[in-house]
Amino acid sequence: MISNRVSVSNYMTPMPYTVRPEERLDQAVALMSAFKVRHLPVLDGDKLVGILADRDLRLAQKLRDQDPGLAESSVADLMEHRVYTVTPQTQLSTVAAHMAEHRLEAALIVHEDGRLIGIFTDLDALRALASHLHTSVPVPA
d(CA 65, CA 86): 37
Strands 85-86 and 47-53: unpaired
In the chain, how many H helices and how many E strands? Answer: 5, 6
CATH 3.10.580.10 given to domain 8-132: yes
Q: What is the reported pTM? A: 0.84
**Mean pLDDT, rounded, for 69-82:** 82
- Residues 128, 2: contact at Cβ < 8 Å? yes
Task: Kindly report, residue by residue over 27-40, the tens digit of the pLDDT.
Answer: 898 999 999 999 99
Q: What is the pLDDT of residue 131?
A: 85
> What mean pLDDT do residues 75-101 have?
95
Q: Where are the domains of the chain?
A: 8-132
The HSE-up count of residue 58 (CA atoms within 13 Å, CB side) is 5
* Residues 6 or more apart whose Cβ sits within 8 Å of residue 130: 136, 137
